């Protein structure tokens, strides 16, 4: 069938692309194949017209008028790859008849209609477009170029809106559009940009008439999920970038509804996979896959999901990487992807990010942090060997209901290895609330003096202060600084400072916790962190998951389904490492001089 269509439409990039995919000259995943099968049926559907005029117009506009603005392609023409041309064609070559739109227009308007795309009653079949593709495959520049093409090649008065979950991301898409406009003298000559957006009309030629004058009220604006007053807009082109960060459809629906008055609107959603569980993207992908499986009817929805068929093939077959990275080789560097795969083999946080962003595998946003081999370390040490040494203190405080943890991190002169000594605290009343397995563990740890009981219902923070003071009195440990979390700490910090300790608050956020958490992981893997084979530390590490954001930053959380377990020991390790990283040079100097 495809070969016959290629003879009938030799100029079609879409058919040529599908043909090369079917002959395995181009490797694609199962979900792209499903969309191709749906598109092929359109060519034989008597209710669908096929016309390449508008698709060719936009492809020609992009390749002749648009230029890249960022290295390594800055200043070069925007030459589209075959998969990009096929994607554009799939949007613009199929038309269906809509009686409602025909009835809305007068006989005079209908008689003036010449071209198919303006032939009242016939409209583009695909008006809602979802593009899921791995990062750095040119998705934002491609859709930005299409928005600019719509602005110039579409109807007079076309209004476009760039949207994302935050203003910075929305601005990336807007700036990509504007950079292409500025790179082209012909486009820049008939448009202007200000703080509000991009508009037609050149101030140097205010009396000019026609489509490219002030009389054309079309514009390109940007908006974020956090921006108010989204209702009331009337746009023809909508673009929502990185929708994986959206928790629900609230930011999206006003934009989609703003397209409802148009005959030929187009709404683009472009994204990679993300880490938000049960978010907007999860809902959209669930429905999209139902459409591809022919379980759900969404005839106006075009779905391009560049995905792998299995995670195993990523590790075993490099040739399969192109399934989720169609721009591999001419947009995205293969060597970069190889380096990310190698790094993923030794870093769980990198692996989760790469699987999500480079191969479009959904990752639980609370994925397990460490492997058993990373955690299991039976090495111990004698505190007597560290008499008079400098140490960094860290605490994770809890007034009630949770475990409190205190820790010192010590280093020896001439060694990169770190040793931690720890103490845990729990309110007496909370022991009875533990489940059977944990209760037995904690009673054993209490007998071994690994946990100190605070009488009553609350942790007594003065016991933590006494523990730090005792380390100095008994072993001469000199506490350089003490890191603490922000909860329930005001009076305890004052007590510690009265005893001569310098306390530093460590914010429990991605920006603060990511770097030290990664270093703790690396040191555990490299056996450069000796926690004295403390069973509570091991217990906490086993319960700790890593939460990842879109910037590849991580922070500790409890593993899902283990919400009643404790991770306080892991948190104090990370807090201690935060203080170490922020004061590395001075602390090492003290260690080497001691």
| b/e burial code for range 573-583 (CB count within 10 A of at least 16 → b) | bbbbbbbbebb
pLDDT at 117: 43
State how far the alpha carbon of 118 is from the alpha carbons of 146, 238, 527, in Å. 19, 20, 69
Q: Is 579 a member of any domain?
A: yes
CATH number for the domain that contains residue 379: 3.30.420.240
Domain termination site, one of 272, 289, 314: 314
Mean pLDDT of the 458-485 span: 94
Same domain, 305 and 405: no
Q: Is 342 a member of any domain?
A: no
DSSP string, 124-142: ES--EEEEE--TTSSHHHH
Q: Tell me the two tokens of residue 368.
A: 């397990």
Q: How confident is the model at residue 75 (pLDDT cuts 50, 70, 90)?
A: confident
Mean pLDDT of the 559-568 span: 77
Q: Is 328 a member of any domain?
A: no
- Residue 589 clears pLDDT 60, i.e. is over it: yes
pTM of the complete model: 0.80
Tally of structural domains, the chain: 2
CATH number for the domain that contains residue 252: 3.40.50.300
Q: Tell me the two tokens of residue 242.
A: 């990185």
Same domain, 379 and 525: yes
**226 in Cβ contact with 166 (< 8 Å):** yes
Same domain, 299 and 376: no
Q: Is 17 a member of any domain?
A: no
Q: Domain residues for 34? A: 29-314
Same domain, 63 and 157: yes
**224 in Cβ contact with 164 (< 8 Å):** yes
Domain termination site, one of 278, 296, 314: 314
Within 279-382, strands assigned E span 301-305, 367-368
Q: Is 339 a member of any domain?
A: no
DSSP string, 538-556: HHHHHTEEEEE-TTS-EEE
Residue pLDDT, tens place only, 510-519 = 999 999 999 9
Residue pLDDT, tens place only, 169-221 = 788 889 999 999 999 899 999 999 998 899 999 888 887 888 888 989 999 99
Mean pLDDT of the 457-464 span: 90
Q: Is 56 a member of any domain?
A: yes
Q: How confident is the model at residue 521 (pLDDT cuts 50, 70, 90)?
A: very high
Domain termination site, one of 292, 314, 336: 314
Which residues 6+ apart lie within 8 Å of 97 measured at CB?
47, 121, 122
Q: Determine the 3-state secondary structure of 477 from DSSP.
A: coil
Residue pLDDT, tens place only, 19-73 = 999 999 999 999 999 999 999 999 999 999 999 999 999 999 999 999 888 777 8
Q: Is 19 a member of any domain?
A: no
Q: Is 5 a member of any domain?
A: no
Same domain, 35 and 125: yes
**Cβ neighbours around 12 below 10 Å, total:** 21
Q: Tell me the two tokens of residue 228.
A: 């108010």
């Amino acid at each position: 069938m495809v070969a016959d269509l290629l003879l009938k439409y030799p100029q079609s990039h879409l058919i040529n692309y599908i043909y090369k995919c079917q002959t395995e000259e181009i490797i694609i995943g199962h979900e792209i194949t499903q969309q191709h099968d749906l598109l092929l049926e359109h060519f034989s559907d008597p209710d669908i017209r096929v016309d390449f005029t508008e698709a060719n117009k936009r492809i020609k506009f992009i390749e002749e008028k648009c230029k890249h603005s960022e290295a390594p392609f800055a200043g070069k023409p925007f030459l589209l790859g075959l998969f990009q041309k096929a994607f554009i064609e799939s949007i613009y070559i199929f038309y269906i008849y809509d009686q409602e739109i025909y009835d809305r227009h007068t006989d005079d308007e209908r008689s003036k209609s010449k071209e198919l795309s303006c032939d009242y009653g016939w409209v583009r079949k695909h008006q809602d477009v979802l593009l899921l593709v791995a990062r750095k495959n040119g998705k934002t520049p491609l859709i930005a170029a299409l928005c600019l093409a719509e602005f110039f090649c579409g109807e007079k008065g076309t209004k476009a809106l760039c949207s994302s979950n935050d203003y910075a991301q929305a601005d990336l898409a807007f700036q990509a559009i504007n950079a292409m406009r500025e790179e082209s003298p012909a486009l820049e000559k008939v448009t202007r940009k200000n703080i509000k957006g991009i508009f037609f009309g050149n101030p140097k030629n205010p009396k000019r008439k026609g489509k490219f004058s002030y009389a054309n009220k079309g514009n390109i604006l940007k908006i974020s999920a956090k921006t108010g007053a989204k209702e009331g807009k009337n746009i023809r082109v909508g673009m929502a970038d990185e929708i994986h960060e959206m928790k629900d459809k609230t930011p999206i629906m006003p934009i989609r509804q703003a397209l409802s008055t148009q005959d030929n609107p187009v709404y683009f959603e472009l994204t990679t996979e993300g880490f938000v569980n049960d978010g907007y993207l999860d809902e959209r992908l669930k429905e999209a896959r139902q459409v591809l499986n022919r379980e759900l009817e969404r005839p106006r929805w075009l779905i391009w999901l560049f995905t792998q068929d299995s995670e195993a093939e990523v590790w075993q077959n490099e040739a399969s990487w192109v399934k989720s990275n169609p721009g591999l080789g001419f947009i995205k560097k293969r060597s970069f992807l190889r380096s990310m795969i190698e790094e993923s083999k030794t870093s769980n946080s990198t692996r989760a990010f790469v699987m999500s962003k480079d191969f479009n595998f959904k990752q639980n946003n609370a994925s397990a942090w460490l492997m058993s081999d990373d955690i299991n370390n039976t090495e111990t040490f004698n505190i007597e060997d560290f008499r008079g040494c400098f140490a960094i203190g860290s605490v994770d405080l809890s007034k009630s209901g949770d475990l409190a943890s205190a820790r010192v991190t010590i280093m020896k002169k001439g060694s990169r290895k770190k040793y931690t000594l720890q103490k845990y605290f729990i309110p007496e009343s909370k022991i009875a609330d533990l489940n059977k397995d944990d209760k037995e563990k904690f009673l054993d740890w209490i007998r071994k003096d690994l946990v100190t009981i605070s009488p009553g219902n609350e942790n007594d923070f003065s016991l933590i202060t006494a523990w730090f003071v005792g380390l100095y009195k008994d072993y001469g440990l000199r506490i350089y600084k003490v890191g603490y979390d922000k909860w329930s700490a005001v009076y305890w910090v004052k007590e510690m400072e009265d005893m001569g300790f310098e306390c530093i608050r460590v914010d429990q956020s991605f920006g603060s916790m990511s770097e030290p958490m990664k270093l703790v992981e690396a040191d555990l893997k490299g056996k450069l962190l000796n926690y004295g084979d403390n069973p509570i530390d091991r217990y906490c590490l086993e319960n700790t998951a890593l939460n990842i954001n879109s910037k590849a930053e991580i922070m500790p959380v409890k593993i899902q389904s283990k919400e009643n377990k404790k991770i306080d020991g892991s948190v104090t390790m990370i807090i201690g490492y935060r203080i170490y990283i922020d004061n590395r040079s001075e602390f090492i100097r003290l260690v080497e001089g001691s």
